[in-house]
């Protein structure tokens, strides 16, 4: 009697393919010129500052290495005005590309295709988190193309609660730095300083460069003591210690600095406790304000449209 042969289990394909298309009421040449400016300064297409900007180690072209956020890739094909292909260089094997297909003198179709090979863990991550983020970023990119090319977006994408949550969790965090030399108000606030620190974040495309726009992170708790040279100094004096908070916008960075002068032993005991939570509160205030202002910035397509109107 011949042994019973069980059917070979069907192994699901490890290839993931995701396609987004948009018909734009503008010529392929107009739209292609916009796509060729990806990663440029300014970039009229990629959805910054809500999402990390696309950056490369050289101008956009074959061989350029870079990516956006933690996604890394290299430009492997570039047909100016028609097609750009990016091959992944870390994490997964595959590519994503943008293609512009003419439909007539005043119409074209933009296609974004992602195709990659994923192991089981990567596939789980894709379906639980990365897919919804990827789809949102691509649709916002298409919104920017439509806005920049036509002046309106017929059906703009909306960020779901899950996307907003992931955006908040993945937002950059402040880094510790020395109190900048440009923070002159903070450096000269007291004849003697018993404590100082500073936390810094990069200004993203379109974000305000006036320190007054950032004042809200401390204004509710402390009165203003001075303004000069891109810096606002806030603070309060008390019998146990004096506190100053500095908001400095300079050199493409926003810096939240702190200087403290302690008066007596009671102030030192108080500060021993407070300084344990101070770094957390400073980072939280700066990060929250940074994200709030970034999300309030007009889209890349709107900024491009405004530039074109002025010119």
What is the structure's pLDDT at 11?
A: 43
What was the pLDDT predicted at 220?
79
Q: pTM for this structure?
A: 0.89
pLDDT higher than 80, residue 280: yes
Query: What's residue 238's pLDDT?
Result: 94
- For the segment 39-64, the average pLDDT, to the nearest whole number, is 95
Could you give the strand order of the β-sheet that contains 71-79, starting from the edge strand earlier in sequence? 15-24, 107-117, 93-104, 83-88, 71-79, 65-68, 54-56
Nearest to residue 29, comparing CAs of 98, 112, 78, 100?
100
Give the pLDDT confidence of 54-87 residue by residue, as tens digits: 999 999 999 999 999 889 999 999 999 999 999 9
Give me the pLDDT at residue 108, please.
97
User: Quick count: other Cβ atoms within 10 Å of Cβ 43?
Assistant: 21
75: its two tokens = 């430009």
**Least confident residue range of 56-70, 116-130, 262-276:** 116-130
CB 101 within 8 A of CB 28: yes
As a whole number, mean pLDDT of residues 254-272 equals 96
42 preceded by cis ω (within 30°)? Answer: yes
pLDDT in the model for residue 221: 83
* Direct distance between the N- and C-terminal alpha carbons of the chain, in angstroms, rounded to an integer: 86
DSSP state at residue 119 = -
Please give the mean pLDDT across all residues of the chain: 92
Q: What is the pLDDT of residue 7?
A: 45
Q: Which of 67-81, 119-133, 287-301 has the lowest mean pLDDT?
A: 119-133
The winner for highest mean pLDDT among 1-5, 42-46, 127-131 is 42-46
Q: What is the pLDDT of residue 263?
A: 96
Q: Is the pLDDT assigned to residue 2 strictly greater than 60?
A: no
CA proximity to 97, closest of 138, 45, 128, 40: 138
Concatenating the DSSP letter of every residue in 19-40 gives EEEEEESS-HHHHHHHHTTTTS
Task: Dihedral sign for Cα 76, 135, 15, 101, please.
Answer: negative
C-alpha pair distances (Å), 279 with each of 55, 66, 201, 291: 30, 32, 14, 18
What pLDDT, on a 0 to 100 scale, did the predictor assign at position 6? 42
pLDDT confidence of residue 12: 47
pLDDT digits (tens, 9 = 90+) for 151-174: 999 999 999 999 999 999 999 999
Angular region, 125: left φ>0, alpha ψ -120 to 50, beta rest: alpha
Give the tokens for residue 65. Answer: 């290495």
pLDDT at 1 over 60: no
Supply the pLDDT for residue 92: 73
């Amino acid at each position: 009697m011949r042994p019973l042969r069980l059917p070979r289990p069907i192994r699901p394909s490890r290839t993931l393919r995701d396609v987004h298309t948009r018909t734009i009421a503008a010529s392929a040449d107009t739209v292609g010129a916009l796509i060729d400016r990806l990663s440029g300064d300014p970039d009229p297409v990629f959805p910054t500052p809500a999402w990390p900007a696309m950056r490369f180690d050289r101008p956009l072209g074959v061989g350029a290495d870079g990516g956006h956020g933690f996604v890394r890739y290299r430009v492997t094909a570039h047909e100016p005005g028609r097609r750009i292909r990016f091959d992944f260089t870390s994490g997964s094997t595959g590519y994503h590309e943008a293609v512009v297909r003419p439909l007539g003198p005043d119409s074209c179709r933009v296609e974004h295709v992602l195709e990659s090979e994923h192991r089981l863990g990567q596939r789980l991550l894709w379906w639980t988190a990365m897919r919804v983020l990827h789809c949102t970023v691509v649709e916002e990119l298409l919104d920017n193309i439509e806005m920049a090319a036509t002046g309106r977006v017929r059906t703009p994408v909306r960020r779901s609660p899950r996307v907003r949550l992931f955006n908040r969790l993945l937002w950059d965090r402040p880094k510790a730095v020395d109190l900048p030399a440009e923070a002159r108000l903070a450096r000269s606030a007291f004849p003697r300083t018993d404590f100082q620190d500073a936390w810094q974040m990069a200004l993203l495309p379109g974000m305000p460069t006036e320190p007054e726009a950032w004042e809200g992170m401390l204004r509710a708790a402390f009165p203003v003591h001075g303004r000069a040279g891109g810096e606002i100094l806030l603070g309060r004096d008390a019998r146990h210690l004096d506190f100053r908070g500095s908001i400095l916008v300079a050199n493409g960075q926003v810096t939240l600095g702190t200087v403290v002068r302690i008066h007596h032993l009671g102030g030192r005991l108080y500060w021993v406790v407070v300084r344990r939570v101070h770094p957390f509160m400073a980072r939280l205030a700066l990060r929250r304000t940074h994200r709030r202002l970034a999300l309030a910035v007009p889209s890349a397509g709107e900024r491009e449209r405004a530039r074109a109107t002025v010119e």
